[in-house]
């Protein structure tokens, strides 16, 4: 299938042969396939064998479109590329909607573990790995079993069961395979079970009907975002612990204020859009 | 298994949850919703009530089953119990309180991961019979509820100029407070306030600062 | 919290026989849990659907200013993509019409009473799937719906359900139109925008700006960043307290003086998203209406 993509809010670039007559072209949004969008003009593009369509209506680059033309056998499917979509989901959940600073999840563990850089990195890495695994397994269970059998009300139990089993299994495997690593990371494993994020990721995937790639992106982004948040916090906390903090603020209150400042700076990501 | 210890007086159990061992501001457990849901009093109230009910029911059911289960699988069974109550709560809220549920839905589901509930079951339900568990659960739940409503009132008034949806100020003083960053600031400030009250009452702050995770 | 996890870490791992007993015990508890929750689901799910339906109906009645005797009829649209040609299928209260894209009728069946009267989307979709034979169930998909408000046998207004991509994720809304394709009101049903910013799209001073505009107005309408004039804001706040017709009469002169949509401060993207959504919904509805109206 030849390529076609949305290059601006009113233009689509199409690879292939198109008639010069704009009225012979039919462009529709896949979800509104019975209503053709008005194509204003068809012009040859700078690349060979490509054309630029201009439309009257505004086009959303996240939308799915279909393009057909009279006398041409080919059908073009216009959709955001899977790679671009996964990258945008990852960046979305790691930066724009960072699970700690924007969605306020995983705070319980967050404040306990961000005391120094090493524990922060350890927790971040462990969490990302377990998070991606549990996210994918939970997605598979949900898609294959829970939804078709109409058992959605079992989601909470199923997801937390998966997390608990995965944590337990990882603990046992790690102890047998690499005791050194187990000594280093083992304690973080157990803390993961009470981490809100690990349960939130499968729930979010389930409610938004994510595809496998999207679920993977969300789990990975969540883990990376959490690791980033932990690392940043630990750097700041290490410095703060050496500063003269008023006694009533020592400990958690000042940590919250710092987290608030980080949250403010992460707000700067909120307009970020990955093409 | 473990014999039931004599429970502390009811008033102590209730007051403990509200102040000395306030889950949010002192024990610093289950913070996620405290920041997320307190954008308005209504949201905070709804989640607070949900947590209160789950806390009470979990504490009571934990106390009921403690003799029947193998101590090795204690934690998974507690987690399952909590998951049952949370799923039930989730379904009931979705059916009968749909508009508020839309805002706090995800956090209701996450109650199952709240450390406060399972740690309370471990610390209290294992050692006391059903009725004291009810009071303790109620105290903790009330402390949580009051914390959420307090933070919610602060953020809603400063951020949107209203309380419970009723406009009090004709303008929005500080929109920042309603955004995530504001949530962190609010909780930090209220925690410092709790510490300050503690100092005024003459209790010494533990070294390294007040509330610890 | 750390004391809880400490206890778990220090326990000895169970031996083989204990593992079996533990696994069995957990399975039993899980099954009991599943039964309890399943039972509760059985009870609450109909209540959930019923409450949802009641909320939608109240919203539609409010938007259209219907009398208590008026009926609301749902019209569901499906797309059948089997074979070379795409077909559109409409399920109205009277007919199931299978049409080609230009409106030519392929088949029209009468709709049984129970299907027409039910408020359950599932029942309707299942019935449609049975009547329209497709080799691959993926090829028959639900595509959208609108509602018709009927006083007696006369349609007095329509409510179109539209979806648009907001700042964060999808925004769903109801748009009320009268028979001259003039917008009577907009209600935002679902969104995940930021409180105080994008979430302001549900406030009267934003969503009511679409009221009173006809098709020609909406086609040219754009979003401007100027501040909302105070007297226009006062007028906008009143639609909802008073029904549409008296409101449009009272503020007849203000509408042409405010031909564009004033964006919400700090939420241009959400404002534009709703405007684009309303434009598309109105335009699409008019094109579809010419085809479907004879089956209502």
Q: For C98-160, what is the HEC assignment?
A: EEECCCCEEEEEECCHHHHHCCCHHHHHHHHHHHCCCCCHHHEEEEEEEEEEEECCEEEEEEE
Same domain as A227, residue A183 = yes
Residue A52, min C-alpha distance to chain C (Å): 23
Put simply, the answer to whether A34 touches C1 (Cβ < 8 Å) is: no
Which secondary structure element, helix H or strand E, spans residue C173, and what is its range?
A: strand C170-177
Helical H runs in chain A?
Answer: 82-91, 107-113, 117-141, 155-177, 179-192, 196-207, 212-240, 252-266
| Cβ-contact B114, B29 below 8 angstroms | yes
Residue scoring higher pLDDT (C223 or B98): C223
CA separation, residue B17 to residues B11, B25, B114, C179 (Å): 10, 11, 16, 60
Whether the ipTM is more than 0.90: the answer is no
CB contact C45 to B (< 8 Å): yes
**Virtual torsion, Cα C236, C239, C241, C247, nearest 10 deg:** 110
- Residue bearing tokens 């302001």: C200
Q: Is C123 part of a structural domain of the chain?
A: yes
Q: How far apart are CA A237 and CA A261, in angstroms?
A: 12
CB-based contacts of B44, cutoff 8 Å, min separation 6: B37, B38, B148, B149, B151, B152, B153
CA-CA distance, B80 to B86, in Å (whole number)?
Answer: 10
A73 and A87 share one domain: no
**Chain A partners within 8 Å of B196 (Cβ):** 248
Which residues partner with C172 through β-bridges?
Answer: C163, C190
Question: Which of B88, B118, B172 is closest, CB to CB, to C37?
Answer: B88
Query: How many domains is chain C partitioned into structurally?
Result: 1
With CA atoms as reference, the chain A residue closest to C291 would be A34
In a domain? residue C56: no
From A25, A47, A80, give the residue that closes a domain: A80
A203-232, pLDDT tens digit by residue? 888 887 778 888 999 999 999 999 999 899
How far, in Å, CA of C50 to CA of C52, rounded? 5
Kindly report the nearest CA distance between residue C55 and chain B, in angstroms.
9
In this structure, what token pair is assigned to residue B17?
């949850």
Residue contact A256–B91, C-beta within 8 A: no
Residues A114 and A19 in one domain: no
Q: Do C44 and B69 touch (CB under 8 A)?
A: no
Rounded to the nearest angstrom, the minimum Cα separation between B73 and chain C is: 7
Residues A175 and A190 in one domain: yes
- Contact A29/A63 with Cβ under 8 angstroms? yes
Q: Are B72 and C22 within 8 A, CB to CB?
A: yes
Using CA atoms, how far residue B131 sits from A151, C95, C264, in Å, is: 34, 61, 53
Are C219 and C207 in contact by the 8 Å Cβ rule? The answer is no
Domain that holds residue C85: 71-295
| C156 φ/ψ angles, rounded to the nearest 5 degrees | -110, -10
Report if residue C49 sits inside a domain. no
Instruction: Look over chain C and give the mean of its residue pLDDT values, rounded to a whole number.
Output: 84
Question: CA-nearest residue of chain A to C169?
Answer: A208
- Please state the rounded mean pLDDT for residues C45-60: 86
Domain check: are A169 and A76 in the same one? Answer: no
* H helical segments located in chain B: 10-18, 31-36, 41-65, 74-96, 98-110, 115-120, 130-160, 180-200
C109 or A1: which carries more pLDDT confidence? C109
In this prediction, residue C275 has a pLDDT band, given cuts at 50, 70 and 90, of very high
Q: Which chain C residues are Cβ-neighbours of B70 within 8 angstroms?
A: 18, 21-22, 25
Q: Are residues A262 and A174 in the same domain?
A: yes
Of C5, C143, C279, which has the smallest distance from its Cβ to A190's Cβ?
A: C5
- Which B residues 10-69 touch C at CB under 8 Å? 29, 39-40, 69
H helices of C65-75, where?
Answer: none
Residues of the domain holding A45: 4-80
Instruction: Determine the pLDDT at residue B24.
Output: 66
Q: Which residues of C touch A108 (CB under 8 A)?
A: 1
Treating both helix axes as pointing N-terminal to C-terminal, what angle do B98-110 and A196-207 enclose, rounded to 10 degrees?
A: 140
SS3 state at B168:
coil
Number of H helices, E strands in chain A: 8, 8
**Do A72 and A19 belong together in one domain?**
yes
How close is the nearest chain B Cα to the Cα of C24, in Å?
11
To the nearest whole Å, the CA of B102 is away from the closest chain C CA by 8
A119, A248, A262, best to mutate vs chain B, most B CBs in 10 Å: A248
Place of tokens 């120094």: A116
- Asked which of A80, A113, A146 is the last residue of a domain, the reply is A80
Q: Considering the domain boundaries, does residue C4 fall inside one?
A: no
Per-residue pLDDT of chain B (213 residues; tens, 9 = 90+): 445 667 777 777 777 767 667 766 666 666 777 777 777 788 888 888 888 888 888 888 888 877 777 777 777 778 888 888 888 888 888 888 877 777 777 788 888 777 677 777 777 777 777 787 888 888 888 888 888 888 888 888 887 777 776 777 767 777 777 777 888 888 888 888 888 887 887 776 654 444 433
Same domain, A176 and A191: yes
Residue C66 lies in a domain: no
The minimal CB distance from B29 to the residues A108, A199, A203 is found for A108
Q: What is the DSSP string of C1-61?
A: -HHHHHHHHHSPPP-HHHHHHHHHHHHHHHHHHHHHHHHHHHHHHHHHHHHHHHHHHHHHH
Residue C48 falls inside a structural domain: no
Residues of B in contact with A99 (CB under 8 A): none
Q: Residue A252 and residue B76: Cβ atoms within 8 Å?
A: no
Which CATH number characterizes residue A42's domain?
2.60.40.1130
Residue C4 pLDDT: 40
CB spacing of B87 vs A105 below 8 angstroms = no
Phi, psi angles (nearest 5°) of residue C222 = -140, 170
Name chain A's partners: 3 or more CB pairs within 8 A.
Answer: B, C
Residue of C nearest to A192 (CA): C5
Distance from CA of C64 to the nearest CA of A (A): 25
> A220 and A101 in one domain?
yes
Task: Based on the fold, state whether residues A104 and A238 are members of the same structural domain.
Answer: yes
Average pLDDT of the segment spanning C80-94: 84
Whole-angstrom distance, CA of residue A25 vs CA of residue B124: 72
- Cross-chain CB nearest to C287 (options A33, A35, A62): A35
Q: What angle do CA B149, B154, B159 make, to 5 degrees?
A: 125
Q: Is residue C31 in some structural domain?
A: no
Same domain, A184 and A120: yes
The answer to whether residues A127 and A179 belong to one domain is yes
Question: Taking residues A4-32, what's their average pLDDT?
Answer: 85
Task: With respect to residue C100, please indicate whether it lies within any of the assigned structural domains.
Answer: yes
Cα gap C211→C232, rounded to integer Å: 12
The token duo for A96 is 């724009």
Ranked by mean pLDDT, which of B184-188, C150-154, C214-218 comes out on top? C214-218
Find the mean pLDDT for residues C82-106. 85
Residues of chain C neighbouring A141 (CB-CB closer than 8 A):
none
Place of tokens 């935002």: C188
Total structural domains within chain A: 2
Could C1 and A187 be called an inter-chain contact, meaning their C-beta atoms sit closer than 8 Å?
Answer: no
pLDDT tens-digit profile of A103-156?
778 777 777 776 778 888 888 888 898 899 999 999 999 888 888 777 878 888
Over residues C55-77, the mean pLDDT reads 89
Q: Two tokens at A62? A: 């996240």
Rg (CA), chain C: 25
In this structure, what DSSP letter does residue B179 have? S
Q: What is the largest CA-CA distance in chain A?
A: 79
Please, what is the end-to-end C-alpha distance for chain C in angstroms? 62
Report the distance separating Cα C173 and Cα C192, nearest Å: 13
Domain boundary among A62, A80, A98: A80
């Amino acid at each position: 299938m030849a390529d076609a993509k949305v290059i601006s809010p009113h233009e689509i670039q199409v690879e292939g042969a198109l008639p010069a007559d704009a009225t012979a072209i039919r462009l529709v949004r896949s979800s509104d396939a019975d209503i053709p969008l008005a194509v204003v003009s068809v012009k040859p593009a700078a690349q060979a064998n490509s054309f630029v369509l201009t439309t009257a209506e505004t086009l959303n680059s996240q939308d799915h479109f279909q393009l057909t033309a009279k006398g041409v056998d080919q059908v073009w499917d216009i959709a955001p590329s899977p790679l671009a979509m996964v990258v945008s989901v990852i960046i979305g959940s790691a930066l724009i909607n960072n699970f700690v600073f924007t969605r306020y999840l995983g705070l319980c563990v967050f404040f306990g573990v961000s005391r120094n850089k090493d524990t922060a990195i350890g927790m971040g890495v462990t969490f990302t790995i377990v998070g991606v695994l549990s996210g994918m397994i939970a997605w598979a269970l949900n898609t294959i079993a829970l939804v078709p059998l109409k058992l959605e009300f079992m989601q909470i139990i199923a997801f937390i069961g998966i997390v608990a089993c995965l944590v337990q299994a990882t603990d046992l495997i790690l102890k047998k395979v690499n005791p050194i690593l187990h000594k280093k990371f083992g304690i973080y494993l157990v803390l993961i079970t009470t981490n809100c994020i690990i349960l939130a990721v499968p729930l979010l995937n389930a409610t938004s009907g994510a595809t496998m790639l999207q679920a993977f992106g969300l789990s990975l982004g969540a883990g990376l975002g959490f690791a980033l948040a932990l690392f940043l916090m630990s750097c700041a906390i290490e410095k703060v612990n050496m500063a003269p903090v008023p006694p009533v603020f020592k400990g958690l209150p000042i940590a919250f204020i710092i987290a608030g400042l980080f949250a403010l700076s992460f707000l700067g990501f909120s307009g970020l859009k990955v093409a | 298994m473990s014999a039931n210890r004599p429970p502390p007086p009811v008033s102590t159990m209730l007051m403990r949850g509200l102040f000395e061992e306030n889950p949010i501001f002192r024990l610093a457990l289950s913070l996620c919703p405290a920041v997320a849901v307190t954008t308005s009093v209504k949201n905070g109230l709804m989640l607070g009530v949900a947590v209160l009910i789950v806390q009470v029911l979990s504490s009571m059911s934990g106390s009921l089953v403690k003799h029947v289960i193998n101590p090795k699988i204690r934690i998974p069974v507690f987690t399952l119990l909590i998951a049952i109550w949370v799923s039930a709560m989730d379904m009931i809220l979705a059916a009968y309180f749909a508009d508020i549920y839309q805002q706090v839905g995800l956090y209701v589901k996450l109650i199952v991961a709240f450390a406060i509930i399972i740690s309370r079951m471990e610390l209290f339900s294992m050692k006391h019979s059903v009725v004291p568990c009810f009071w303790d659960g109620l105290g903790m739940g009330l402390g949580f509820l009051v914390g959420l409503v307090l933070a919610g009132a602060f953020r809603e008034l400063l951020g949107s100029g209203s309380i419970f949806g009723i406009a009090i100020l004709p303008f929005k003083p500080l929109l920042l407070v309603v955004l995530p960053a504001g949530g962190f600031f609010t909780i930090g400030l209220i925690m410092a306030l709790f510490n300050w009250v503690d100092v005024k009452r003459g209790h010494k702050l533990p070294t390294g600062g007040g509330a610890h995770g | 919290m750390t004391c809880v996890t400490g206890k778990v870490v220090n326990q000895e791992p169970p031996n083989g026989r204990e593992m079996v007993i533990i696994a069995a015990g957990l399975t039993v508890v899980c099954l009991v849990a599943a039964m309890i929750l399943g039972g509760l689901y059985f009870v609450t799910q109909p209540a959930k659907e019923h409450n949802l339906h009641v909320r939608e109906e109240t919203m539609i009645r409010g938007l259209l200013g219907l009398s208590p005797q008026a009926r609301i009829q749902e019209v569901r649209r499906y797309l059948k993509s089997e074979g070379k040609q795409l077909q559109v299928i409409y399920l109205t209260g009277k007919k199931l019409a299978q049409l080609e894209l230009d409106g030519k009728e392929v088949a029209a069946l009468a709709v049984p009473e129970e299907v027409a009267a039910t408020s359950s989307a599932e029942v309707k979709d299942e019935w449609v799937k049975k009547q329209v034979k497709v080799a691959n169930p993926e090829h028959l998909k639900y595509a959208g719906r609108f509602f018709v408000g009927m006083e007696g046998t006369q349609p007095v207004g329509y409510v179109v359900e539209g979806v648009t991509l907001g700042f964060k994720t999808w925004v769903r809304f109801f748009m009320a139109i009268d028979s001259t394709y003039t917008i009577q009101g907009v209600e935002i049903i679902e969104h995940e925008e930021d409180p105080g910013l994008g979430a302001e799209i549900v406030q009267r001073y934003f969503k009511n700006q679409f009221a009173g505009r006809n098709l020609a107005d909406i086609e040219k309408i754009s979003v401007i960043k100027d501040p909302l004039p105070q007297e226009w804001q006062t007028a906008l706040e009143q639609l909802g307290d008073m029904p549409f017709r008296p409101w449009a009469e009272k503020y007849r002169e203000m509408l042409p003086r405010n031909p564009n949509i004033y964006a919400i401060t700090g939420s241009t993207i959400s404002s534009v998203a709703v405007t684009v959504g309303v434009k598309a919904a109105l335009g699409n509805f008019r094109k579809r209406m010419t085809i479907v109206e004879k089956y209502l």
